[in-house]
């Protein structure tokens, strides 16, 4: 379904993010997670794209499987890194053929372990991909005459590649104006960063929905990986102090991390957030706990799937 139809209601949107599994065992965990979360009927789910196209087919296959075998609405991520126009067009054609409604258009993480020269990419920034998708939409190749809905990433704490925050907002505004329909943010742990970002967007005349990215911490190892992956992420002292108190008790660490994410979600809903996007890491338990504690009504009637 096109994102503008998904966003039509008044109530906040909820979405879950998955990544393509690389082993049979990981695939089983993910399919169980999808079964567990399907009954929550999120407004959409999204599937990540590996750096440099490393999961091109895996992402495509998972998106198609979710589309074919569940009631969920999958949105593939697509990144600029290491792709030329022909390749991106091929990927868009495949998704259009499967009637996938939307794409999350991203710059992409640098591939690790291979020599990479960004200047050789056809798409230097996500804005180029947004423009390309918009041009593709005009070709009429998509079964929906509006073509793909387009999402983009936002960074409440700022993106490390652009330390000048005023310039960063200029780039961001240009990306929105190139044709984005909605924004999903990077994870953050202090809601003040999100609320301030939302206000700065409003000041820059950005009025498309901003969906807040939430990732519950469930282990000390996970916290450390997060600090590396989401470079620049700020961890509030209050959260770190609570985690430090129980660092030798994994179950308590989990409880503290989930409680923090729950309080964030509760506060965001209180502040009329347009939506909350859960980085699930392909597991359902933390997300389910948070959902159940927030008392969020399921937005459509649940149906069993065969995923």
User: Does 94 engage in binding with ligand FAD (CB under 6 A)?
Assistant: no
Residues in the chain: 307
User: Does 54 engage in binding with ligand FAD (CB under 6 A)?
Assistant: no
Let me know if 85 is a catalytic residue.
Answer: no
Spatial distance between the Cα atoms of 4 and 65, rounded to a whole number of angstroms = 23
Cβ neighbours around 210 below 10 Å, total: 20
Choices 24-32, 65-73, 107-115, 257-265 (CB under 6 A): range interacting with ligand FAD? 107-115
Give the number of residues in contact with ligand FAD, rule: CB under 6 A: 22
Our CB check for ligand FAD shows the closer of 136 and 155 to be 155
Residue of 56, 60, 77, 260 interacting with ligand FAD (CB under 6 A): 77
Spatial distance between the Cα atoms of 41 and 11, rounded to a whole number of angstroms = 14
- Of 1, 79, 67, 11, the C-alpha closest to 34 is 67
Q: Which helix (H) or strand (E) segment is 191 a member of?
A: helix 191-203
Residue of 66, 88, 100, 106 interacting with ligand FAD (CB under 6 A): 106
User: Does 189 engage in binding with ligand FAD (CB under 6 A)?
Assistant: no
Helices 126-138 & 85-97, crossing angle to 10 degrees?
50
- Helix, strand, or coil here: 175? helix
Our CB check for ligand FAD shows the closer of 165 and 245 to be 165
Selecting among 17, 38, 64, 157, the annotated active-site residue is 17
Our CB check for ligand FAD shows the closer of 123 and 242 to be 123
Residue of 126, 178, 212, 217 interacting with ligand FAD (CB under 6 A): 126
Q: Which residue is nearest to ligand FAD (CB)?
A: 107
User: Does 257 engage in binding with ligand FAD (CB under 6 A)?
Assistant: no
Cβ contacts of residue 249 below 8 Å, gap of 6+?
none
Residue labelled with tokens 């789910």: 45
Our CB check for ligand FAD shows the closer of 129 and 253 to be 129
User: Does 162 engage in binding with ligand FAD (CB under 6 A)?
Assistant: yes
Contact present, 37 and 290 (Cβ < 8 Å): no
User: Does 153 engage in binding with ligand FAD (CB under 6 A)?
Assistant: yes
Residue of 48, 70, 280, 282 interacting with ligand FAD (CB under 6 A): 48
- Of 127, 122, 61, the C-alpha closest to 91 is 61
Our CB check for ligand FAD shows the closer of 58 and 253 to be 58
Cα–Cα distance list, 29 to 18, 21, 73, 256, 264 (Å): 11, 9, 20, 24, 27
Sign of CA dihedral 287, 285, 149, 123: positive
Spatial distance between the Cα atoms of 147 and 116, rounded to a whole number of angstroms = 32
To ligand FAD, the closest distance from the beta carbon of 125 in angstroms equals: 3
Choices 88-96, 157-165, 232-240, 264-272 (CB under 6 A): range interacting with ligand FAD? 157-165
Spatial distance between the Cα atoms of 265 and 25, rounded to a whole number of angstroms = 31
Residue of 3, 7, 51, 214 interacting with ligand FAD (CB under 6 A): 51
Residue of 43, 56, 83, 175 interacting with ligand FAD (CB under 6 A): 175
> Which residues make up the interface to ligand FAD (CB under 6 A)?
48-49, 51, 77, 79, 106-109, 125-127, 153, 159, 161-162, 168, 171, 175, 184, 186, 213
Q: Which residues are catalytic, by number?
A: 17
């Amino acid at each position: 379904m096109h994102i503008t139809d998904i966003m039509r209601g008044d109530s906040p949107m909820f979405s879950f993010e998955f990544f393509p599994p690389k082993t049979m065992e990981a695939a089983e965990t993910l399919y169980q997670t999808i079964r567990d979360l399907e009954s929550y009927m999120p407004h959409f789910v999204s599937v990540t794209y590996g750096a440099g196209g490393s999961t091109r087919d895996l992402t495509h296959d998972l998106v198609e499987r979710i589309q074919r075998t569940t009631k969920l609405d999958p949105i593939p991520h697509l990144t600029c890194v290491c792709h030329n126009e022909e390749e991106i067009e091929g990927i868009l054609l495949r998704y259009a053929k499967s009637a996938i409604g939307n794409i999350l258009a991203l710059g992409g993480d640098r591939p690790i372990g291979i020599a990479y020269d960004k200047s050789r990419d056809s798409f230097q920034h996500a804005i180029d991909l947004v423009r390309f998708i918009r041009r593709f939409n005009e070709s009429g190749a998509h079964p929906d005459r509006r073509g793909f809905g387009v999402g983009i990433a936002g960074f409440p704490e700022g993106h490390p590649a652009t330390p000048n925050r005023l310039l960063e907002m200029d780039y961001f505004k240009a990306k929105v104006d190139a044709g984005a329909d909605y924004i999903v943010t990077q994870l953050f742990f202090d809601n003040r960063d999100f609320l301030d970002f939302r206000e700065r967007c409003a000041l820059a005349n950005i009025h498309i929905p901003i969906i807040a990215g939430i990732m519950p911490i469930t282990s000390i190892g996970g916290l450390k990986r997060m600090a590396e992956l989401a470079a620049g992420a700020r961890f509030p002292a209050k959260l770190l102090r609570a985690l430090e108190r129980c660092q030798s008790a994994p179950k308590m660490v989990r409880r503290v991390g989930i409680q923090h994410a729950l309080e964030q979600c509760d506060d965001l809903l209180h502040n009329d957030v347009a939506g909350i996007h859960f980085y699930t890491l392909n597991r359902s338990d933390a997300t389910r706990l948070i959902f159940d504690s927030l008392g969020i009504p399921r937005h459509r009637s649940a149906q069993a799937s065969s995923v």
